[in-house]
Amino acid sequence: MKFDTPAGTNPIDQGKVVGRPTPRIDGPLKTSGRAPYAYERHDVAENAAYGVIVHAGIAKGRLNALHLDEAKAAPGVVTIVTADTAGKLGKGNMNTAKLLGGPEIDHYHQAIALVVAETFEQARAAANLVRADYARGQGKYDLEAALPGAPPVPDPNANDGKGPKIDKVGDFERFFASAPVKLDQKYTTPDQSHAMMEPFATIAAWKGDELTVWTSNQMINWTKGDLAKTLGLPKEKVRLDSPYVGGGFGGKLFLRADAVMAALGARQAGRPVKVTIARPMMANNATHRPATIQRIRIGCDKDGTITAIAHESGSGDLPGGGPETAVSQTKLLYAGAHRMTAMKLAVLDLPEGNAMRAPGEAPGLMALEIAMDEMAEKLGMDPVQFRIKNDTMVDPEKPERKFSQRHLVQCLNDGAQRFGWSRRNAKPAQVRDGRWLVGMGVASGFRNNMNQKSAARVGIDKQGMVTVATDMTDIGTGTYTIVAQTAAEMMGVPIDSVNVLLGDSSFPVSAGSGGQWGGNSSTAGVYAACMKLREAVAQKLGFNATDVTFANGKVTSGNRSADLKDAAGLSAEETMEYGDLAKQYQQSTFAGHFVEVGVDAYTGEIRIRRMLAVCDAGRIINPTSARSQVIGAMTMGVGAALMEELAVDKRFGFFVNHDLATYEVPVHADIPHQEVVFLDYPDDTTSPMKAKGVGELGLCGVGAAIANAIYNATGVRVRDYPITLEKHLAKLPMVA
């Protein structure tokens, strides 16, 4: 099925199941421990051995020798995999660094060996006996030092990365220079870790030349292809199974070392092998969100109209990597006739930088939305009203291209009213609650909508149960439930009459979970399969397919009806593909984020007191799970603003704080009351579901709203994230 014209009225619009708050159908399994995650699949591979990865102790250089004799002689050791024994390996299309190092080392904690033993404890003990001789190379680990000589690069998300390296509209330099009110500031965001609950984990088993991996992965088809390419196998010889994923945030979009090393270990050992990457190794072994250094310039007329806006960002990555696209939202979020965006990419020998929840927009808005507040203060305008004044209903770079829908002004107005913004004192450091300095902050949220081709198979059994199969994944986001809701709505059955099968590469290829595209795209694929099945059911039961309804487990046309189960045995597979509506219309999601903080006047301790997000994201398929997505993202925003930072050892090229004892993330005690409001504006240009996505929108802008609230509370402006005590304590107002 091809979606190339705006959706008219369709069965989803009934709203009997879709759009209703619905408890997650996988909840009972997860809360009772019956939902097996990758490392817990004790039912799938008998006599599995355990593998423990040996990680590189240098960031750049050469592995001269691995001394394995002591490890091989250790109790329980079955085999040891190295680059010498693994045979020729390829590299996945989406991997920047190779996943097994040797002799060349690409980054710190790169896998260099796998010790396989009868038990995990034996494998871990033997891995500690492996000794490596290195020739350490000279690496680059300092972003600030590397950026001045780094080249500008085009936006990889625009025109397939073939656009201009410096994107200009109008004459920014001239109009900025002549603007009566100007802002020119630098902002920095640090490297950050995904820090998902479930680590990278895989069980691998061979049957002849066919490989099955039970793994933790967001994108089944991508990873199946890259695993096949890495091992030199035909793609059809590889199967991935990932029905439950304990979080990913983009870190599990791609093939990682656990899957490759488990497959190599199983092949060499001649039996199944299970591998997990230990928590302290994940930050350096896997991908992370790269640090950015950003410069924002805004020129305004005295009435607050933006006449010139520029956003430049620099980030780093391994050779062959890409930039953190922190300027993306600035191309679309606010009006302004004269514009410039640019990115520079430095080559660094740190671990690979890649997608992390809301790549680009999350760190980009952390800078842009502080700049908007700073400009509002220069103008003497309310920050909410300054944003509203510069709203636009068209793509500022291509004014002929309208937004499909855009309700940012309503997000900001409704949020301001609900949050009590009128009670905010515009003068900083004026509001006290005992020892606490209290302030409010606001920021706009923005994330583009993206559609991905997605397929599903739907069938009916003798009991009238509807079964949906798709390789779509549930990374804790509620995919099982929204897929079931879609099928229930389409086939006219209650949700408990739908069985959902996910995460197996033998199922039809879906959109996968990432980029905020998963919910809308995967359910659109289910919609397409159900439409095809409805036609088959009508034909089998002798109904006119154009005049048939599916409701209450029955199929009805005119005064005649039949039970859905009378069509038992029928199934249909279909793919939802997309035309060029996304080119005709700018499809985006918007939010207004509001935060209240307290800052201890004596110690500088920062406490979040209240948070509100008002979101404009098309039809919300399940408000219950959507709210969970947004409050989780808001919590991530607290971490990004106040505590999360991978500290770089610039001498030896690694992230020092690579465990959860030293890489701090928010806990329950850090998070206060959170409120989420969804505007009800189904978008008929995005898919038959008329939905978009909220999983990343909930993060975009939160960090800046917190930073702006801290400034309002204290009068201290911090432009270097995270906002930790040493950055503002000495500047706090004097305490009498």
Q: What is the pLDDT of residues 151-163, one digit of tens each?
A: 999 999 887 778 8
Under a CB-based contact definition with an 8 Å cutoff, are residues 556 and 548 in contact?
yes
pLDDT in tens, 413-460: 999 999 999 999 999 999 999 999 999 999 999 999 999 999 999 999
d(CA 149, CA 243): 45
pLDDT value at residue 162: 80
**Averaged pLDDT for residues 662-676:** 96
**Averaged pLDDT for residues 97-125:** 98
Give me the percent of the chain exceeding a pLDDT of 90: 97
pLDDT value at residue 163: 81
Residue written as token pair 């891995």: 127
Under a CB-based contact definition with an 8 Å cutoff, are residues 503 and 479 in contact?
no
pLDDT in tens, 521-551: 999 999 999 999 999 999 999 998 788 999 9
pLDDT value at residue 397: 94
Q: Is the pLDDT of residue 332 over 90?
A: yes
The DSSP 8-state label assigned to residue 512 in this structure reads -
Q: What are phi and psi of 12, to 5 degrees?
A: -65, -30
Binning pLDDT at 50, 70 and 90, where does residue 736 land?
low
In the set 573, 574, 696, 726, the catalytic residue is: 696
**β partners of residue 114:** 53, 81
d(CA 199, CA 431): 43
Binning pLDDT at 50, 70 and 90, where does residue 694 land?
very high
Q: Is the pLDDT of residue 331 over 70?
A: yes
Mean pLDDT of the chain: 97
d(CA 667, CA 659): 15
DSSP string, 562-627: EEGGGGTT-EEEEEEEE-SHHHHSB-EEEEEEEEEEEEETTT--EEEEEEEEEEE-BB-S-HHHHH
| Tokens encoding 395 | 């793509």
DSSP string, 27-80: HHHHHTT-S--GGG-TTTSTT-EEEEEEE-S-SSEEEEEEE-HHHHTSTTEEEE
Residue written as token pair 């199941």: 17
**β partners of residue 82:** 113
pLDDT value at residue 157: 85
pLDDT in tens, 209-254: 999 999 999 999 999 999 999 999 999 999 999 999 999 999 999 9
pLDDT value at residue 365: 98
| Tokens encoding 581 | 């509506």
Amino acid residing at 321: G
Cα 200 to its chain centre, rounded Å, is 16
DSSP string, 373-415: HHHHHHHT--HHHHHHHT--SEETTEEEEEBS---HHHHHHHH
**Averaged pLDDT for residues 174-183:** 98
Binning pLDDT at 50, 70 and 90, where does residue 404 land?
very high
d(CA 360, CA 617): 19
Note if 696 is an active site residue.
yes
Give me the percent of the chain exceeding a pLDDT of 70: 100
Q: Is the pLDDT of residue 480 over 90?
A: yes
Q: Which residues, 6+ apart, have CB-to-CB distance to 246 below 8 Å?
A: 37, 196, 197, 198, 216, 475, 476
pLDDT value at residue 28: 97
d(CA 52, CA 247): 22
Residue written as token pair 């620099």: 314
Q: Which domains does the chain have, with CATH numbers?
A: 2-35+451-584 (3.30.365.10), 38-137+200-285 (3.30.365.10), 397-447+587-736 (3.30.365.10)
C-alpha dist (Å) from residue 712 to 366, 373, 606, 617: 16, 10, 13, 29
**Averaged pLDDT for residues 603-632:** 98
